[in-house]
Amino acid sequence: MRSLFSLLCLITLFAPPAWAQLGSGLPDWAKTALAEKEGVAPPEKADLWRLLDETIISPDNKGRITVQRRVVQKVITEHGVDLASIFVIDGDPNTTKVKRLKGWHQNSRGKITKLDKANVFTVSQAQINRVSHDASTAAYFEKVGRNSIIVFESKERRTEVFNQDLVFMLSNFPIAKRVIDVRLTGAQLQPVNFDSWQLTYQQEGTRLVAKHLPEIQREWMTADSGYFFPYLIINHRQGTEFDVTFDTWSSLGSWYYRTFAQSASFQEGGEAIDNITQLAGIFERQQKDISYRQRYLTPGRGWVPASGGDVQRRKYGDCKDMVACLGFEATKQKIAVYPALATIIRDYYPDETKPVSPFAFNHVIAAVPLKQSLGLAAEVMVDNQLMLLVDPTSKGTPLGYLPADYRGRQVFLCNKEGGAWIEIPEKALEKRAIKVQVFGRLDQHHTLGGSLIISSRGNALGLRMLPDNRDPEDVEWLVRRGLDIPGTAVLTINHVAPGEPGEIQVTCQVMWPSFLRHDVHGFRLPGTIVPHTRLQIEDRGKERQQAIRIAPQVATSWVMSLSTVRPMAPGAEATEWSDDTRRFAWKASGGKTLKVEYHRAGKKRLFPKSDLQAGIDYWEGYRENYNAFYLTDTLFQEVPSAN
């Protein structure tokens, strides 16, 4: 008996760490998650390992949705401390109410601290150009260190806008087990990109469990869109603010048309037009009067426009407010206007074949039916009806054109019957091009003193956004940004004037130190004009993880005439290369006056996860050609004098 007692005392005295590691004090589900990974090594190079990430979506008894989250994570390195210490819930306090927020921190000695409510704070995400009630609620632990285990549990009540939610699977750290359990009426789960990302997952009804999710690597030349990553579309029939389901694009289209026209106060009875005068008047007044600002003060306002009259009073609005205002005025004059959903900037190209979702779009433009062709570039045929596409948000684009960003895209026209996908033809886009002529002298330090004559077509430099009485510093900023002129060069803007239709010309003086820079056994032009050698796309020893984006290049030409102190000769007098994506062309002659022409242009290309090798191969081929050209052809050498 006595020895047993002593034994118990000994155990109690010397085993506390071991006992504590059993996780007493942590909730059962956390203990289970820890036990599952007991003795398992974390993924290589992980700073933080999330053992469990569980999301349970269920209805409450008032037609709203409750989202419960449970997170269990372990800190592996010092670098993971900050990431592990904090748990964030985003949302609008009017639609997302945090009902419960609990946390536990077990330090490396096994001591457990509960989340101190004083360490929970909410911060607004509003900005002066994007006024909203969006906020982030964060809970954090102090004194987190290596081997800390952090557990968070939250419960939010959400008032949903749509019968659809998207859940993105990956994070900046590896996740051992991700559970998404949807307990909503009529719920259907649609995994997207799970197979191309080779995710290990199982689905039982509307409960999905994915394991061994990798962390998102830091890579470059990546596509700008979350839709290249694995995500889950959840469609359900729970009551929401907007009574629309996403079975077909048509149901989305007719709902949006009705909602839009009503909210914007469109008048009925609008018809097709046979001349542009009235519409042009409305368009120009609006371009002048209405500024772009986002104002999302109610849940649906990310989707539903303000009334046209309201936009006119405020004199500002976002893209859909601008379409609402245009339609408000136009329908008053019996011109029919339809909203068309679009996606710009992001590298997502929705079309009929993509999953039906309002989240596919981030922009709205207008479509106006025409009785006959008015000879405008942005006319398209939709179901035997000629339509003019108008983007009132784009300040720099004249009526009748669309900005270059619509290249290769489709927009979804919404009408009473449903809607139609419209392919944007190349002819609808204003051609963008930049040409820079350089005249000047290079002194003995190869500093250039001279002038630049810049031609910007199709608003390539964004100069149309400036008022007529432009400030020279605003012009300078746009020129520097568009041409990537280094801050070390001094530019003085002399003159800005329109040239040919769609063109703006800028002339300026320049003092550009180290214009010709020393390299190897000669000199090179600035990287602004002829870019440096291209880097490899794959990090050493790592397999490429994410979709590849080959960036578009605005057609740019540099034409230079430079006098030098000593005669020089270029590496090559003429080189040209092109494939179906990119091209460059070089012409140069030497002596005491260097004459150089360099042209380049390129299309955007995207290679999704299923096609990565093609992207890697493409880039390697381009890189090899470009680097070889750069190394030898673009090198200027001083020529010894004749005598």
Q: Which residues from 288-317 bind other proteins, rule CB under 8 A?
A: 288-289, 291, 293, 295, 297, 313-316
What is the spatial distance between Cα 53 and Cα 31, in angstroms, rounded to a whole number?
A: 14
The position carrying tokens 């206007």 is 337
What is the spatial distance between Cα 574 and Cα 557, in angstroms, rounded to a whole number?
A: 15
Interacting residues with other proteins between 504 and 543 (CB under 8 A): 512-514, 517-522, 527, 532, 535-536, 538-540
Q: Which of 445, 495, 566, 592 binds other proteins (CB under 8 A)?
A: 445
Q: Residue 429 CB, nearest distance to other proteins (Å)?
A: 25
Q: Which of 481, 495, 566, 592 binds other proteins (CB under 8 A)?
A: 481
Q: Which stretch binds other proteins (CB under 8 A): 230-238, 324-332, 364-372, 464-472?
A: 464-472
Distances (CA, A) of 450 to 6, 39, 562, 588, 598: 93, 69, 9, 19, 19
The position carrying tokens 């030409």 is 557
469 binds other proteins (CB under 8 A): yes
Q: Residue 532 CB, nearest distance to other proteins (Å)?
A: 7
631 binds other proteins (CB under 8 A): yes
Interacting residues with other proteins between 53 and 72 (CB under 8 A): none
SS3 576: strand
Q: Which of 86, 112, 126, 167 binds other proteins (CB under 8 A)?
A: 126
41 binds other proteins (CB under 8 A): no
What is the spatial distance between Cα 72 and Cα 150, in angstroms, rounded to a whole number?
A: 6
Q: Residue 559: which of 533, 587, 531, 578 has the closest Cα?
A: 587
490 binds other proteins (CB under 8 A): yes
Q: Which of 107, 238, 286, 410 binds other proteins (CB under 8 A)?
A: 107
Q: Residue 520 CB, nearest distance to other proteins (Å)?
A: 4
Q: Residue 500 CB, nearest distance to other proteins (Å)?
A: 26
Cβ atoms of 205 and 163 closer than 8 Å: no
- Closer residue to other proteins (CB): 69 or 480: 480
What is the spatial distance between Cα 550 and Cα 530, in angstroms, rounded to a whole number?
A: 18
- Closer residue to other proteins (CB): 141 or 228: 141
- Closer residue to other proteins (CB): 2 or 521: 521
Cβ atoms of 582 and 604 closer than 8 Å: no
- Closer residue to other proteins (CB): 349 or 577: 577
Cβ atoms of 341 and 318 closer than 8 Å: no
Q: Which of 27, 110, 145, 239 binds other proteins (CB under 8 A)?
A: 145
| H/E element, 9 | helix 2-14
Q: Residue 572 CB, nearest distance to other proteins (Å)?
A: 13
CA count, 13 A, side-chain hemisphere, 200? 7
Q: Which stretch binds other proteins (CB under 8 A): 62-70, 74-82, 170-178, 340-348?
A: 74-82
Binding mask 536-575 for other proteins (x = CB under 8 A): x-xxx-----------------------------------
The position carrying tokens 């990287």 is 527
User: Total binding residues for other proteins by CB under 8 A?
Assistant: 73
Cβ atoms of 272 and 371 closer than 8 Å: yes
Distances (CA, A) of 91 to 123, 126, 237, 362, 518: 11, 11, 22, 18, 54
Beta bridge partner(s), residue 636? 523
494 binds other proteins (CB under 8 A): no
- Closer residue to other proteins (CB): 274 or 473: 473
- Using H for helix, E for strand and C for coil, what is the string for 410-441? EEEEEECCEEEEEECCHHHECCCEEEEEEEEE
Q: Residue 122 CB, nearest distance to other proteins (Å)?
A: 4
